Structure 1
Amino acid sequence: MTAGYAVNTEAANYNKSYTMLLGYGDYHGWDHTHAGTWGAYVAYRNLGQNVSLSSTYTLDAGVRGWEYGMYVTPLRNIQAQVMYVRGKDLMYHERASELWSRVEMFF
Structure 2
Amino acid sequence: MADENHVDILGWNKQFPLWYTLSCSKDKEENALEMAKLFYETHLFAAAEPILIGKFIPSCANDTYFGNQWGLSNSGIYGGNTNADINFCQVRNITCGC
Task: With the length of structure 2 as denominator, give the TM-score of the two structures.
Answer: 0.24
- Structure with more of its chain in helix, by fraction: 2
| Structure with the higher fraction of residues in strand conformation | 1
Q: Rg: which structure is higher?
A: 2
TM, length-normalised to structure 1: 0.23
